[in-house]
Structure 1
Amino acid sequence: MDALGNPVGFALTGGQAHDLAGADALLPDMAADALIADRAFDADARVLEPLAAAGKAAIIPPKQNRKQKRDYDRHLYKARHLIENFFAKLKQFRAIATRYDKTARNFLGAIHLAAAYVWLI
């Protein structure tokens, strides 16, 4: 997502897959200087270390069970609602919310079409 909450890339994963599977696909090509994400992305080897090596900031609150707590920018983290708002708008499309398409290719195409519509309005 960009600073306005508009999508800049998509990666389709299985419904049972963890959020980090999508992060593995999207993070190497990330052009932004910072990543704002929820606690599910608080993974040292898969998210935090690659971002630090690339010189990018990680605005991710630490998990409750983390042994070494790390700090994050709470003020900047408040902008994460823009991402949630986009997904709420995307789910207004019935075919997206219920996944009518049988193939992943068609479903991803429907997501791209709905996202373009949301971006334009």
Structure 2
Amino acid sequence: MRKRNIKAVIPEKKDQAAKRKRKGSRGGRPTGHDAGLHKERNTVEPLINKLKARRGIATRYDKTPENYLAGLHLRASMIWINDLLKATG
């Protein structure tokens, strides 16, 4: 990633950092990460998991892109309505 100038989005795990530090100079440099992108990723990822909870969307059984998009819209509206009901509930 360093060779391609790509910044990590996910922070290094604590046990991986500890192992790297135990290796001393052979362990390499610590990886920096973009905390802002990580925060954004954590807001989007649960929604994607909710969308994929339906088998048809997760496995993409629809024949055409239009039908697949319609399924995504339907599932997103179901999630939105459920969240509204929970908030007022």
The alignment's TM-score, normalised by the length of structure 2, stands at 0.51
User: CA separation of 1:102/1:78 partners in 2, compared to 1, >3 Å: closer, same or farther?
Assistant: same
Correspondence for 1:64? 2
Correspondence for 1:102? 63
User: CA separation of 1:68/1:99 partners in 2, compared to 1, >3 Å: closer, same or farther?
Assistant: closer
Correspondence for 2:78? 117
Give the unaligned 5+ runs of structure 1: 1-62
1:68 CA drift (Å): 8.9
In 1, Cα distance between equivalents of 2:51 and 2:61: 14
User: CA separation of 1:67/1:86 partners in 2, compared to 1, >3 Å: closer, same or farther?
Assistant: closer
In 2, Cα distance between equivalents of 1:67 and 1:115: 35
The alignment's TM-score, normalised by the length of structure 1, stands at 0.39
Structure 1 or 2: larger helix share? 2
Correspondence for 1:91? 52
Give the unaligned 5+ runs of structure 2: 8-31, 83-89
User: CA separation of 1:101/1:82 partners in 2, compared to 1, >3 Å: closer, same or farther?
Assistant: same
Structure 1 or 2: larger strand share? 1
Count of aligned pairs between the two proteins = 57
Look up the equivalent residue of 1:64 and give its one-letter code: R
Look up the equivalent residue of 2:80 and give its one-letter code: W
1:95 CA drift (Å): 0.9
RMSD: 2.5
